């Protein structure tokens, strides 16, 4: 039995499905999120961007070229343009032999609103599923991404979680400014500061104002495991991305991180002895 498996019996590491179960189904589609829910993920992760007509859609890249049969920047396209595209057929069927492309809603562009409907339906069954929403390149929109996001969360009754239970929603970003805006407008929503590298001013484990949880990339964890201890000593929970390899899961478990964000929720849950 691995150390990760031993440790999992006394620490609950949250397993977060990155862009859904994105190894098995095309990222950010309803198919990928349904698969993650079926696999038993504790939480879902998604990226959000604003369309030209002001809708929040779950798309990672600035352009739709990689993950659809269309071309162009999300910010220059309207929701109706995106709805005409296929976000499923790019998925490599040799890499994911179980992936069975189904036309229609399962592989069309996913709005955050539709994802929140699915999310709230699952929570209504009593399952404490959580959702981590990442604001992508929010500086371009000078606050509009956060404003739209909070409007939508408010509509679903998710912007003001009660203080005495874990928030179903948290907001993540590589932009400290974006998280600061979220904190100012919705102080009860947890915020996760994502890091690709450790900036010299944050080496002691501090986070920028407005950020509550640390979100280091796996590369940081491998090269500076001591930094994870510093974050913990400074009182921060640590959510690591994107953790797909068993050795990385093992290291995260040894370091006692609070959440693992992975394209392979089923494999990670199995390694941690959860299924």
**Nearest approach, Cβ of residue 45 and Ca ion (Å):** 6
Residue of minimal CB distance from ligand G3P?
A: 241
Q: Which residue bears the tokens 């986070």?
A: 207
Query: Considering beta carbons, is residue 60 or 91 the nearer one to ligand G3P?
Result: 60
Site for ligand G3P in 104-163 (CB under 6 A): 134
Q: Residue 27 interacts with Ca ion (CB under 5 A)? A: no
Site for Ca ion in 112-171 (CB under 5 A): 134
Spatial CB neighbours of 63, under 8 Å, sequence gap ≥ 6: 71, 72, 73, 74
Contact with ligand G3P (CB under 6 A) among 24, 47, 146, 248: 47
Known active-site residue 10: no
Q: Can you read off the two tokens belonging to residue 102?
A: 């189904």
Beta bridge partners of 46: 133
Query: Considering beta carbons, is residue 47 or 248 the nearer one to Ca ion?
Result: 47
Picked from ligand G3P, Ca ion, none, the partner binding residue 250 (CB below 5 to 8 A depending on kind) is none
The whole-angstrom separation of Cα 35 and Cα 19 is 11
Count CA within 13 A, CB hemisphere, residue 46.
Answer: 28
Contact with ligand G3P (CB under 6 A) among 58, 64, 261, 268: 261
**Nearest approach, Cβ of residue 18 and Ca ion (Å):** 7
Q: Residue 248 interacts with ligand G3P (CB under 6 A)? A: no
Nearest to 156 by CA among 113, 110, 187, 191: 113
Q: Residue 193 interacts with ligand G3P (CB under 6 A)? A: no
The whole-angstrom separation of Cα 49 and Cα 60 is 8
The whole-angstrom separation of Cα 57 and Cα 47 is 8
Give the DSSP H/E element, type plus range, for residue 33.
helix 30-39
Beta bridge partners of 131: 44, 169
Q: Residue 60 interacts with ligand G3P (CB under 6 A)? A: yes
Considering the candidates 28, 60, 236, 239, report the single residue annotated as catalytic.
60
Known active-site residue 137: no
Burial readout 199-210 (b: 16 or more C-beta within 10 A, e: otherwise): eeebeebebeeb
Pairing of strands 43-50, 56-57: antiparallel
Q: Residue 18 interacts with ligand G3P (CB under 6 A)? A: yes
Binding site for ligand G3P (CB under 6 A): 18, 45, 47, 60, 134, 172, 194, 241-242, 261
Residues noted as catalytic: 18, 60
Binding site for Ca ion (CB under 5 A): 47, 134
């Amino acid at each position: 039995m691995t150390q990760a498996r031993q440790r999992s019996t006394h620490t609950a590491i949250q397993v977060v499905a990155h862009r859904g179960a994105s190894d098995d189904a095309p990222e950010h589609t309803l198919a990928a999120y349904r698969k993650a829910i079926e696999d038993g993920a504790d939480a879902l992760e998604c990226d959000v961007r604003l369309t030209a007509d002001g809708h929040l859609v779950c798309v990672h890249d600035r352009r739709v070229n990689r993950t659809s049969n269309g071309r162009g920047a999300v910010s220059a396209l309207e929701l109706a343009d995106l709805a005409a595209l296929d976000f499923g057929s790019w998925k490599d069927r040799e890499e994911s032999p179980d992936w069975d492309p189904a036309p229609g809603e399962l592989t069309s562009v996913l709005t955050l609103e539709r994802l929140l409907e699915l999310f709230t339906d699952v929570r209504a069954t009593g399952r404490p599923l959580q959702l981590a929403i990442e604001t992508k390149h929010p500086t371009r929109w000078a606050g509009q991404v956060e404003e739209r996001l909070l409007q939508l969360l408010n509509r679903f009754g998710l912007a003001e979680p009660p203080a005495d239970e874990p928030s179903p929603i948290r907001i993540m970003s590589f932009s400290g400014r974006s998280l600061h805006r979220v904190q100012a407008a919705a102080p009860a929503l947890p915020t996760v500061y994502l890091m690709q590298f450790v900036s010299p001013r944050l080496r002691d484990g501090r986070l920028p104002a407005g950020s509550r949880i640390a979100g280091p990339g796996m590369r940081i964890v491998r090269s500076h495991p001591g930094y994870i201890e510093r974050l913990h000593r400074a009182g921060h929970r640590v959510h690591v991305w994107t953790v797909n390899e068993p050795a990385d899961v093992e290291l995260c478990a040894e370091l006692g991180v609070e959440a693992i964000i992975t394209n392979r929720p089923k494999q990670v849950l199995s390694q941690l002895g959860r299924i």
